[in-house]
C-alpha cells in the first residue's frame, strides 16, 4: 500500500483484526471496544455497496451499478466474502426485505456485527449450560435479544458463551450486516455452522428449547454469492 494514501476503513478494520485476533489470548474488553469503534464508522459505500439505488427489479444475481453492488437489487440473501485467514473472516450479508437467516450458532467464536443500512429483527440465545467444549446441538437456551435494529446503530458483539451466540435475522427492509468472525467457521477444527429450530416454553418465559436442524443449510434458505467491490485490501503483513 502507498503510505501517502489514507487508509480505507476496511483496511483499518483488517489491520486491527489482525492485531487483536492473531494473539494467543482472548481479546480484552478494550480491544473489543476498539474493534467496535472502527465498525461503528462503516457505511455501505465503504464496502462497495450502494444501499439506495435500484435499476430495474431485484434479481438473484448481483446487480452492479457504477462499480457498486446494488443493495436494493438482491432478491435472495447474498454473501459478499471479503477475507478469511486462520484467525478471522470478514464478509457482508445483504438481505432483501422479508428473508430470514434462521437460527445458527458460532461455536467458540467472537463475532462483531455492524448493520450497514435497513431494519432487521434479531432473535438471539445463549445455552443455559454451555459447559462442554464441543458444539451443542440441542437443549435449553435463554433469550438474549428479541428486537428490531434500525440503521444507523452501534455495532454489536457476541462471544462463545454470552451475548447471544445463536441468532437469527429477519430483514424488515432491505438491509446488510458486516460481520467479523474469529476464529472463522471450520469443519476441520470442530467449528461447524449448525442451524436450529426454537420451541418457546410457555411456562418459562424468556427460554426456549433449541433443536438442531438436519440440513446444514435449510432447504428453504438460499444464500447467493457476490463479489467484494470495496477498496482493495493489503494483506501483505498477514500473519495468519
Ligand atoms: Fe451469525
Q: What is the 168 CA–ligand 1 centroid distance (Å)? A: 7
Please state the domain count of the chain: 1
Q: How far is the CA of 106 from the centre of ligand 1 (A)?
A: 7
pLDDT in tens, 194-207: 999 999 999 999 99
Residue 183: cis peptide before it, omega within 30 degrees of 0: yes
Percentage of the chain exceeding pLDDT 90: 76
Residue 60 domain-assigned (yes or no): yes
3-state secondary structure 105-167: CCCCCEEEEEEEECEEEEEEEEECCCCCCCCCCEEEEEEEEEEEEECCCCCEEECCCCCCCEE
2 occurs within a structural domain: no
Distance (angstroms) between ligand 1 centre and the Cα of 6 equals 31
Residue 16 is part of a domain; what is its CATH number? 2.60.120.10
For residue 238, what pLDDT is reported? Answer: 47
CB 9 within 8 A of CB 46: yes
Q: Report yes or no on 4 lying in a domain.
A: no
Distance CA 226, CA 210 (A): 31
Residue 130 confidence (pLDDT): 60
**How many C-beta atoms surround the C-beta of residue 155 within 10 A?**
20
Cβ-count burial of 84 within 10 angstroms (0-12 exposed, 13-18 middle, 19+ buried)? middle
Tell me which residue of 76, 111, 82, 238 sits closest to 185, measured CA to CA: 111
Measured distance CA(48)–CA(39) in Å, rounded? 15
DSSP state at residue 203 = T
**How many angstroms does the Cα of residue 56 sit away from the middle of ligand 1?**
30
Query: Distance, CA 1 to ligand 1 centroid (Å)?
Result: 31
Residue 68 lies in a domain: yes
Backbone dihedral region for residue 108 (phi beyond 0: left; psi -120 to 50: alpha; all else: beta): left
Supply the pLDDT for residue 57: 83
Number of Cβ atoms within 10 Å of the Cβ of 163:
17
Say what the pLDDT of residue 97 is: 96
Alpha-carbon distance of 18 to 238, in angstroms, equals 7
| Phi, psi at 17, each rounded to 5° | -60, -40
Which pLDDT value is given to residue 131? 62
Ligand 1 center to residue 25 CA distance, Å?
23
- Ligand 1 centroid – CA 179 distance (Å): 8
Name the helix (H) or strand (E) containing 9: helix 9-21
Residue 240 CA to ligand 1 centre (angstroms): 22
Ligand 1 centre distance from Cα of residue 115 (Å): 12
Ligand 1 centre distance from Cα of residue 52 (Å)? 24
Short-list 24, 43, 42, 20, CA closest to 32:
20
In a domain, 62, yes or no: yes
Distance 167 CA to ligand 1 centre (A): 6
pLDDT at res. 29: 97
The span from the CA of 48 to the CA of 227, in Å, is 9
Distance 158 CA to ligand 1 centre (A): 9
What does the alpha-carbon distance between residue 55 and residue 73 come to, in Å, rounded to a whole number? 8
| Residue 239 belongs to a domain | no
- Domain extent, residue 205, equals 9-226
Q: How many angstroms separate the alpha carbon of residue 5 from the centre of ligand 1?
A: 33
- Is 195 inside any structural domain? yes
Residue 36, helix vs strand vs coil: helix
Whether 101 and 77 have beta carbons less than 8 Å apart is answered as: yes
Tell me whether residue 3 is in a domain: no
The whole-number pLDDT of residue 56 equals 75
Query: How far is ligand 1, taken at its centre, from the CA of residue 104, in Å?
Result: 6
* Positions in the chain short of pLDDT 50: 1-2, 238-240
What's the 105 CA to ligand 1 centre distance in angstroms? 7
Amino acid at each position: 500500500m502507498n503510505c501517502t494514501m489514507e487508509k480505507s476503513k476496511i483496511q483499518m478494520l483488517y489491520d486491527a483484526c489482525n492485531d487483536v485476533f492473531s494473539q494467543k489470548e482472548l481479546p480484552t474488553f478494550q480491544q473489543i471496544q476498539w474493534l467496535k469503534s472502527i465498525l461503528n464508522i462503516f457505511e455501505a459505500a465503504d464496502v462497495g455497496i450502494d444501499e439506495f439505488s435500484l435499476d430495474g427489479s431485484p434479481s438473484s444475481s448481483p446487480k452492479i451499478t457504477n462499480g457498486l453492488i446494488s443493495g436494493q437489487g438482491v432478491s435472495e440473501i447474498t454473501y459478499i466474502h471479503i477475507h478469511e485467514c486462520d484467525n478471522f473472516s470478514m464478509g457482508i450479508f445483504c438481505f432483501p426485505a422479508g428473508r430470514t437467516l434462521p437460527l445458527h450458532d458460532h461455536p467458540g467464536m467472537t463475532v462483531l456485527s455492524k448493520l450497514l443500512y435497513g431494519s432487521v429483527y434479531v432473535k438471539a440465545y445463549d445455552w443455559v449450560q454451555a459447559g462442554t467444549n464441543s458444539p451443542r446441538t440441542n437443549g435449553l437456551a435463554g433469550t438474549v435479544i428479541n428486537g428490531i435494529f434500525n440503521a444507523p446503530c452501534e455495532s454489536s458483539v457476541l462471544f462463545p458463551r454470552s451475548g447471544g451466540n445463536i441468532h437469527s435475522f429477519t430483514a424488515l427492509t432491505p438491509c446488510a450486516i458486516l460481520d467479523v468472525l474469529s476464529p472463522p467457521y471450520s469443519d476441520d477444527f470442530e467449528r461447524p455452522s449448525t442451524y436450529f429450530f426454537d420451541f418457546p416454553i410457555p411456562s418459562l418465559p424468556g427460554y426456549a428449547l433449541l433443536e438442531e436442524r438436519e440440513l446444514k443449510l435449510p432447504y428453504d434458505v438460499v444464500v447467493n454469492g457476490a463479489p467484494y467491490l470495496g477498496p482493495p485490501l493489503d494483506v501483505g503483513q498477514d500473519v495468519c
